[in-house]
Amino acid sequence: MGILQEFKEFAVKGNAIDMAVGIIVGAAFGKVISSLVADVFMPPIGVLIGGMDFTKLAFTLKEAAGNTPAVTLNYGNFIQTLVDFMIIAFVIFMAIKFINRLKKKEAATVTPEPSNEERLLTEIRDLLKERK
């Protein structure tokens, strides 16, 4: 089998296409969540902590000299990223919890038909009860 044929079979399989769609939707969802964090959650948090901007927190390792910029350890960016991560993780957790709740409700409303084996076993059980 040629490499082009193998690639064609791989590319048109449902799993590869589902994965591609999942990645694209995931990237778009990531942008939505990032905007939610930056534009909705962080401003009130900033107000609550007195308007402090974490991204400006830094420790200077070496002062600027002439045209050479200062060397800084930007721990504020790390703190901001950590806060963003915690909020994103919480939002995703809540979204998954909501989706699972919907699935449980859907599963509870659909009662599967008993299989042929279950029906046959039920009939046998009922016949055995009648004999006693």
Query: Please, which pLDDT band fits residue 50 given cuts at 50, 70 and 90?
Result: confident
What is the pTM for the complete model shown? 0.51
What is the per-residue pLDDT for 48? 83
Assigned token pair, 74: 């930007």
Residue 58 — φ and ψ, nearest 5°?
-155, 155
Domain that holds residue 7: 1-42
* Sign for the pseudo-dihedral over CA of 117, 119, 120, 122: positive
Of residues 24 and 49, more confidently modeled: 24
Residue 47 lies in a domain: no
The answer on 127 and 64 residing in a single domain is yes
Residue range 41-69: mean pLDDT, rounded: 83
- Per residue in 68-117, pLDDT tens? 999 999 998 888 888 878 877 887 888 889 888 888 877 667 677 888 88
Residues 57 and 2 in one domain: no
Phi, psi of 73 (to 5 degrees): -100, 105
Specify if 48 maps to a domain.
no
**DSSP character for 13?**
S
**Closest alpha carbon to 73 in 51, 53, 56:** 56
Residue identified by tokens 């991560």 is 85
Q: Same domain, yes or no, for 24 and 60? A: no
